[in-house]
Amino acid sequence: MESADKYALVTGASSGIGWHFSEELARRGYSVIAISNQPDRLAALKSNLEGQYPVTVRILDTGLDRAESPETVIRFCSDNNIEPEVVVNNAGMFFFGEITTIDHERMRSMLNLHMLTPALLCRHFGRQMARKGCGYILNVSSITTVMPYPGISVYAPTKAFLRHFSRSFRTEMKLDNVNVTCLIPGATDTSLYDKGSLNISLLRKLGLLKKPEDVARSGIKALFAKRAEYIPGIINKLALFIIPVIPRFVIEYITRNTTIIRKKKDISN
């Protein structure tokens, strides 16, 4: 069979939710531009998708946490004469740490990855979509947008930027028949969590931990339904209202009596 001639671009495509975004889009007939800094996983994704669906998977092995990263992606698409119909800004990284103790380059990487890169990719590909009068952009934020808590003082605000940016960008792009959706997932069963120390099955049953394939499927469904925002799971929806009203003294007490902030956790893709 001939491969699809319509493309979807997915950042952070090699693992977690990004892998399943790619699979869901391929299932819908999109060839995929898969971007990540995990070349072995990208090769596995390409083999998997091209073996199951009549699509082409083009892989770009690059990090997206540098100032020049957006131009690298833009140049790759230009060199391959591809103007994607769908763009999914999914790539992210996570770590705990107090701001004054975080490594300078690690902090810069998160700021670039969660704000600069997706915003500039939205600008470039949004312009292309506007000229055509159609297109879809999905930006992946986080439930932590309402959690300006110690230990995630860089992560949560950068994800909040992406959420608010998406809302404003959506309003502008509606005039050009281009849809922008923001996905706001909570805890998801990815490599972020230590499977040996958590009862994953129980957390799933309680609705506290979502399967990445479910999050991806619901996100793509919301995108094509032209939803402004989508929050997977009832508990996550409730969290948006409950968490902001937790008294500050409770947060301060937890901060004083736990060492979680200084635990070494760093997952990136």
Domain assignment of residue 27, yes or no: yes
How high is the pLDDT of residue 264? 46
- Residue 153's pLDDT is 87
Query: How large is the average pLDDT for residues 28-53?
Result: 98
Contact 9, 87 (CB under 8 A): yes
Does the pLDDT at position 202 exceed 60? no
Mean pLDDT within 251-258: 62
In sequence order, the 6+-apart residues with CB closer than 8 A to the CB of 123 are none
* In-domain check, residue 137: yes
pLDDT (tens digit per residue) in 213-254: 999 999 999 999 999 999 987 777 777 777 777 766 666 666
Exposure of 149 in the CB half-sphere (CA atoms within 13 A)? 24
- Return the higher-pLDDT residue of 79 and 188: 79
Contact 73, 35 (CB under 8 A): yes
Max avg pLDDT among 3-17, 189-203, 211-225: 211-225
pLDDT level of residue 206 (50, 70, 90 thresholds): very low
Strands (E), the chain: 7-11, 31-36, 57-61, 86-89, 93-95, 135-140, 178-183, 229-230, 266-268
In a domain, 2, yes or no: no
Identify the CATH number of the domain in which residue 152 sits: 3.40.50.720
Domain residues for the domain of 146 are 7-268
Cβ–Cβ under 8 Å, residues 69 and 114: no
Task: Note the pLDDT tens digit of each residue in 160-194.
Answer: 999 999 999 999 999 999 999 999 998 665 655 54
Q: What is the mean pLDDT of residues 250-262?
A: 60
Q: Say if residue 197's pLDDT is above 70.
A: no
Residue 1 lies in a domain: no
User: Span 47-71, mean pLDDT?
Assistant: 97
Of residues 30 and 236, the one with the higher pLDDT is 30
Number of domains in the chain: 1
State pTM to two decimals: 0.86
Tell me the per-residue pLDDT of 110-161, one tens digit each, with 9 for 90 and over: 999 999 999 999 999 999 999 999 999 999 999 988 877 778 889 999 999 9
Domain presence at residue 234: yes
* Short-list 155, 154, 161, CA closest to 118: 161
Tokens of 54: 């009549």
Q: What is the pLDDT of residue 228?
A: 98
Residues in the chain: 269
**How many other C-beta atoms are found inside a 10 Å radius of the C-beta of residue 86?**
25
| SS3 state of residue 179 | strand
Residue 185 and residue 122: Cα distance in Å, rounded? 20
150: its two tokens:
């110690």
- Please give the structure tokens belonging to residue 200: 């994953």
What phi and psi, each to the nearest 5 degrees, are found at residue 55? Answer: -135, 165
Inter-residue contact 163 to 182 (CB < 8 Å): yes
Would 254 be classed as within a structural domain? yes
- Asked, for residue 82, whether it belongs to a domain, the answer is yes
Cβ atoms 121, 70 nearer than 8 A = yes
